[in-house]
Structure 1
Amino acid sequence: MSHVLLLPYGTSGSTYPFIWLGRQLMAGGHRVTLVTAPRYESIARQAGLNFVATGGEELEQMLKAPSLWKLGIGLATAYTHGGRAAKDYVAAAEEAIAQYGPADLLMAPMICFGARVLREKLRIPLVTVHLYPMMIIKAHLPPVVIPPFLWLRRLPLLLRRLILWFPNPLDLFAYPAVRRCCAEHGVTPHSLWKKWWDSPDGVLTLFPDWFAPPQPDWPKNLLQWDFPLEDMAAERPMDEALARFLAEGEKPVLFTAGTGHFHAEAFFSTAAKLVRELGCRAVFITPKTDQVPRDLPAGVFVSAYAPFSRLLPRARAFVHHGGIGTTSQCLAAGLPQFVVPMSLDQPDNADRVKHLGVGLCISQGRFTVERALPLLRRCLEDEKLRESAGEHASRLHDRPSPDVLLDWLEKRMRSTHPSRIPAAHTRDHP
């Protein structure tokens, strides 16, 4: 039995996929410990995982920062706080090892820089987990990190490679704190962009190839998987009042700005006006319900949480921020989606939704009643769009066997590799 440490960093949409990974690993006979912010302890333990909380307040401070949800600036905010959190993750992971035993594998997103420090210090294999395509920034088909990347795609390949060779803002904002963490633990720091973006031990992507087709310059030691579609429905069932609301009338339109957005007053104000114009029923989903206007039209239900796998089949359309968890649940439900991307991975996810023909999108700055109303009406009335959403939902009905994923992960565990970590990138493509 091997011991795996999972080290997610971010909102529920960034944490639930790691809980899903933990479920798969436990089903395969492995011990799993989740190491992350204290806010996720209860749900992790309900899922049966060991848990060790990180110290510090970097995640909470990041989520409270209005700049997190501003295009471009949000990445700088995330990297800055992610860099500062590195020391907290190292300390918590070492506590997990002391409490639950030596670790045979680390799994973390790129932004959990503490995981890479641990790999170098303790020689524990690390698998970098990319939850969305935006994290694979390569020249062949650059993701839409920011809108100018749409122009980058039109340039010759050699010029794209040259532009992406230049320093990444990641080093500017996160590197100083990561360097201090490295110094405290006797680790030699390297460029986060050029050396530490992907682990040489393995890269796992949790999105299917029809959502993001693999490119020639992706890492060679990469396994592309499917959407986890983990929403903790068993541990957090639908509120009875919401269930009654859904049963009492026509299917509603759903609105959310994401579980981590604490500054979405403008989004919900526009949402309320759209509902009035349409005369439809609606559900507003936000953990901070004080963001919702008080003078809501009749037929609007406000919920702090809802399991999307249960809610979305009972809705007409979903207006949302474009987080990968919400986007994938819409795809699974065959539900037309209207994406209002704000920051981080959301613009790239929105671009993919549009090109798949399963939804429409508009930038946060253009999300006004006048501009959004005709697009939302299309989501509700366009049969071609609804048919396309249904066709893509069928792609998610046949899930790949987790045995392949477990076999790939087990080959990267320290207990199966007496020579510990290879010096260079492995070349064994799964």
Structure 2
Amino acid sequence: MAPTHYTVVTIGSAGDLFPFIALALGLRARGHRVSFLAPEQHGPWVRAAGLPFTGLPVDEAVLHDPDLWHPTRGFGVVWRATRPAMARIVPFVEGLPADERCVLLVHPLALPEADLCRAVHPGVKIAAAYLAPANLMTVHDPLMIGPWRVPAWVPLAARRAFWRWVGRRFIDPVALADVNAARAAHALQPVPSLMDWIATVPDLSLTLFPDWFAPTQPDWPQPLVRGDFPLFDPNADTTLSADLQAFLHAGPPPLVFTHGTGNAQAAAYFRHARAAAQQLGRRAVFLTPHRDQVPADLPGTMLWQDYVPLRTLLPHAAALIHHGGIGTTAEALRAGTPQLVVPLAHDQFDNGARVTALGVGGSLPAARLNERRLVRALGGLLAAPGLDERTRDVAGRFQPGTGIDRMCDALTSRSRSPDVLPSPRLP
């Protein structure tokens, strides 16, 4: 039997990209053909991994949109920014040989276009890879709505009604017209609500996080394969720069501050970070590719770096203070590094709550961030009894490679049996 062609599609920052590269490499190692579609700026990383790359258009102006990190308006910014890229999926799949067995392994925001591919390449299978627990809607605890935790006593019926309201108020007005216009162009039925429909699209769903971080919920899509954090480091052999090595050797472990490679609006964050580190008498490293976001007058106890692999840096850090992206969160968990999550939007609040529940960090919403609160949060975190034992325990839960093997095995076994999972139908 000929190998299956896996078409991997993702969007977003490096944190979104790297887990998909890890999966793609696992599939290629099993002898399958793999194509990789991702934002154009990620081409060097994908090509360096030896994967065939198709660049997708990127509107970099989105990085400066003030609503990008807004808890409710952020979805609309991301949706509109990614539609030109997602529109490239259907013609790519349509151009594949008609008799080629194909599986689409996609970011959840690519699911509407992946479903359209069924009309142009009959028999195509779709696997959705969920990077973070908050990407999977649930009515069960723990349930975070942005920075707010829903109390356990709120009935499930009320929670379902709330999610329906969220869909009608914030999701459908942004996305539904685009989705149904594309479906009409392929003579497909319209969908009444994006949130109700999108989870029915995949033939298989994968979690790119382990069950010890987020247990399976009864209302998550099925069939579901639980993975692990598929951490991928494109610069695994990179050594620290001479400047950074000298800085690390010159004093005690520093605090490491970052707010994500894709955040070009972090000037206030780094300003508060500088002030808090000084007040605490701590050395600090600031990580961002946007040098203008970091105060220009850094003292000798502080250092700016545009990029350092966290896997290499975190063993030298006293704590990591970051935005709560799932990739950054996982790297700190693996390194056994205490972390303070300063979430802005999207899945970051939920990730911060889970770090707190594990006892290896805390969370301080970015909307409430100031020097005083940051000093208090960091002081409390670093002085917490038993912190070292808890971070070591969590780091010991990582089992390199097992999650990738489990997910790749599930993908390959499903793709060999086209009758195992019939394509979903509209309700």
Give the residue type in structure 2 aligned to 1:371.
R
1:129 equivalent in structure 2 = 129
Select 1:212's aligned residue among 188, 207, 214.
214
Counterpart residue type for residue 28 of structure 1: R
User: Displacement of 1:209 after TM fit?
Assistant: 0.7
Alignment of 1:77-156 (within 5 A): 77-94=77-94, 97=96, 102=100, 104-112=102-110, 113-123=112-122, 124-141=124-141, 143-148=143-148, 150-151=149-150, 153-156=152-155
**Aligned partners of 1:373, 1:167: CA distance in 2, in Å?**
35
Match of 1:30 among 29, 32, 40: 32
Alpha-carbon distance in structure 2 between the residues aligned to 1:35 and 1:243: 36
TM-score normalised by L of structure 1: 0.90
Please give the alpha-carbon distance, in whole angstroms, between the structure 1 residues aligned to 2:102 and 2:116. 15
Once the two structures are TM-superposed, the CA of residue 102 in structure 1 deviates from its matched residue by 4.3
- Tell me if structure 1 keeps the 8 A contact 2:5–2:103: yes
1:218 Cα offset (Å): 1.8
Moved more, 192-201 or 22-31: 192-201
**Measured at CA, do residues 103 and 77 of structure 1 come closer, stay the same or move farther in structure 2, by a change above 3 Å?**
farther
The number of residue pairs the alignment matches comes to 418
1:343 to partner: Cα distance: 0.7
| Match in the other structure for 1:308 | 310
Residues 324 and 348 in structure 2, CA contact (< 8 A), matched pair in contact too: yes
Deviation at 1:233, TM superposition (A): 2.6
- Deviation by residue 1:171-211 (Cα, 9 ceiling, x = unmatched): 22122223333344444442321112353410000111111
1:15 match: 17
Q: Which amino acid aligns with 1:392?
A: V
1:178 is aligned to 179
Counterpart secondary structure, 2:235: coil
* CA deviations over 1:348-391 (Å, ceiling 9, x no partner): 10111111111011111221111110211223332422321111
Look up the match of 2:8.
6
**Separation (CA, whole Å) in 2 of partners of 1:285 and 1:401:** 29
Whether the 8 Å CA contact 2:43–2:53 is kept in 1: the answer is: yes
1:283 counterpart residue number: 285
Q: 1:129 & 1:356 partners in 2: Cα distance?
A: 24
Secondary structure of 1:269's aligned partner: helix
Deviates more, 1:64-73 or 1:188-197: 188-197
Q: Distance in 1 between matches of 2:420 and 2:129?
A: 20
Q: Distance in 2 between matches of 1:18 and 1:398?
A: 16
CA distance in 2, matches of 1:145, 1:84: 29
Stretch deviating more after TM superposition (315-324 or 370-379): 370-379
Provide the secondary structure at the position in 2 that maps to 1:395.
coil
Q: Which ranges in structure 2 are unaligned for 5 or more consecutive residues?
A: none
> Match of 1:411, SS?
helix
1:157 maps to which residue? 156
- Relative distance call for 1:15 and 1:153 in structure 2 (3 A) is farther
CA-CA distance at 1:395 after TM superposition: 0.8
Structure-2 residue corresponding to 1:258: 260
Paired-residue identity, %: 35
Could you report, residue by residue, the CA deviation over 1:267-292 in whole angstroms, capped at 9, with x for unpaired residues?
A: 00101111211222211011111111
Q: CA deviation at 1:101?
A: 9.7
Counterpart of 1:385 (choices 384, 387, 392) is 387
Contact 1:316–1:336 at 8 Å: present in 2 too? yes
* Distance 1:103-1:383 versus aligned 2 partners, 3 A rule: farther
Residue 286 of structure 2 aligns with an amino acid whose one-letter code is F
Q: Is the Cα contact below 8 Å between 1:8 and 1:36 reproduced in 2? A: yes
Structure 1 residue ranges (4+ consecutive) displaced by more than 6 angstroms after TM superposition: none
Alpha-carbon distance between aligned partners in 2 of 1:420 and 1:392, rounded to the nearest angstrom: 36
SS at match of 1:126: strand
Distance 2:405 2:322 in 1: 33
Unaligned runs of 5+ in 1: 426-430
Question: Helix, strand or coil: the match of 1:193?
Answer: helix
- 1:428 corresponds to which residue? none
Structure 1 residue 66 corresponds to structure 2 residue 66? yes
> Residue 163 of structure 1: CA displacement?
2.8
Code of the aligned partner of 1:163: F
8 A Cα contact 1:54 1:91, kept in partner? no
**By how many angstroms is 1:135 displaced?**
1.1
Instruction: Assess, with a 3 A threshold, how the Cα gap between structure 1 residues 401 and 360 changes in structure 2: closer, same or farther.
Output: closer
Aligned counterparts, 1:273-352, within 5 A:
273-352=275-354
